A and B are shown apart, each in its own frame.
Chain A
C-alpha cells in the first residue's frame, strides 16, 4: 500500500538487549517523526527528520535512544540496553511538511521483560 509501514509490529526484548525499529514513510514525504506512546497516553515526540537531517532530537529520553534516516527515506529507531520503562508503542509519522497532516504507521509495540 501507499501508507506508512512499521516493522516489526510487536517486539519482545529481554532487559539489556538492543532493538531496532523500522519505519517506511510515504514515498516523497520529506518530514518524519518518531513518537513514544505509553499505555493510556497520547503520543510523545521523540525526534524529527527533514530528509536525512535530524533537526530535533530533544524528545529522546536518554542516550540509549538513537535514530537515523541515512538516505532520507527509511528510518530506524534503535534502543540500546533496553529497560522495562522503554515498554511502549513506538509510532512513526511522515508528512510533506512539518505543519501538514501527519500520516501515522500502525506502530511497533515493544515489551521489555
Chain B
C-alpha cells in the first residue's frame, strides 16, 4: 500500500538557518504530493503541492520538488523565521489508486530567535 516516511523531529534551528525536512514515499499509482503545516492550536493547512514528476511546489518561501527517481519530496526553506515553528506533514494522494490521502507522522520544527 501507499506510505509516506518523513524525518523524525523535533528539528531545532536558529532564525535565518536553512531548513530541509526529508520525505520519501511509496505509491502504486501516480501520486500527487503535498506538504501540510499545523500551527499550534490550529488545523492542518496546505502549504504546497506538486502533481507530477519534476514539478516544484512553492509557498511562503518553502519549496519542494517532486522527484520520481528517488521517490522524494523534501521540504526546503533558505531562511527560517520564528513564525515557521509548527508541525509539517508530508502527504500523498494516489490518482491511479485509492484517493484516500496518506500522511506521514509529522516533523516538528522549532525556530529560536
- How many residue pairs at the A-B interface have CB separations less than 8 Å? 52
Report if B61 contacts A (CB, 8 A): no
* Cα A19 to Cα B102 with chains together (Å): 26
Report if A105 contacts B (CB, 8 A): yes
Distance between B36 CB and nearest chain A CB, rounded to angstroms: 8
Closest A residue to B95 by beta carbon equals A99
Report if A48 contacts B (CB, 8 A): yes
A42 partner, pick from B43, B89, B93, B100, beta carbons under 8 A: B89
Chain A to chain B contacts (Cβ below 8 Å), 8 pairs:
A4-B43, A43-B89, A43-B103, A91-B43, A101-B46, A102-B44, A104-B36, A104-B44
Assess A104 versus B43: contact at CB under 8 Å? Given A41-B106, A42-B106, A99-B95: yes
Assess A43 versus B99: contact at CB under 8 Å? Given A99-B32, A99-B93, A101-B49: no
Cβ-defined contact, A98 with B43, below 8 A = no
* Cα A105 to Cα B41 with chains together (Å): 11
* Cα A56 to Cα B49 with chains together (Å): 24
Distance between A104 CB and nearest chain B CB, rounded to angstroms: 4
Closest B residue to A89 by beta carbon equals B43
Closest A residue to B32 by beta carbon equals A99
Residues of A within 8 A of B106 (CB): 40-42
Residues of A within 8 A of B93 (CB): 98-99
Nearest 10 CB-CB pairings of A with B: A42-B103, A104-B43, A98-B99, A104-B44, A106-B43, A101-B46, A45-B100, A43-B103, A42-B105, A105-B43
Cβ-defined contact, A106 with B41, below 8 A = yes
* Cα A40 to Cα B99 with chains together (Å): 24
Residues of B within 8 A of A101 (CB): 34, 46, 49
